[in-house]
Structure 1
Amino acid sequence: DLQDWCISRQLWWGHRIPAWYDADGNVYVARSEEEAREKHGLGADVALTQDEDVLDTWFSSGLWTFGTLGWPEKTPELETFHPSSVLVTG
């Protein structure tokens, strides 16, 4: 009985989902609103609203070791403690 797991939460703190929406419901994924505009050629006349949900705590918990080991650089510590290209948890 596997079911999809919702990765977002309706909280006021946490890692915000990096998605912006225009008035027509189009989704633009980027690290920032400025990057979304540049990446998709959107002018200042296009109103964008960032997704209001945040990622589940497991998402940020999984990033903790990467942040302390120097990611996104390829550091010796990262190679020692995460010696793979895929990390599956659960």
Structure 2
Amino acid sequence: METNNMQTVIEVCVGLHCCMRGSYAILESIRKHYDLKIGIPSFDGMLLKEVECMHNCKNAVSVIINGMEFNNCSFDNIVKYIEAIHIRKR
């Protein structure tokens, strides 16, 4: 899926190590927090995606937001990153 410059693309790793450290819980929390559907752009330009292993297992959970990789993620810190990036794009 091609994305335009107005989107905030959030990619959550669902590889084995990230799953063992709670990536699905983080994915679901992000989905609920922003009322998103996985793989479908929202009205305000957010796109949440599941991605296979990012090959950074020692730093799981890994999340990429608009090409910037974040590691050792929790729901709380990833929301701060999303808010900062998404607000700047408006």
Report the TM-score when normalising by structure 1.
0.25
- Tell me which protein shows more helix as a share of its residues: 2
TM-score (norm 2): 0.25
Higher-strand-fraction structure: 2
> Does 1 or 2 have the higher relative contact order (CA < 8 Å, sep 6+)?
2
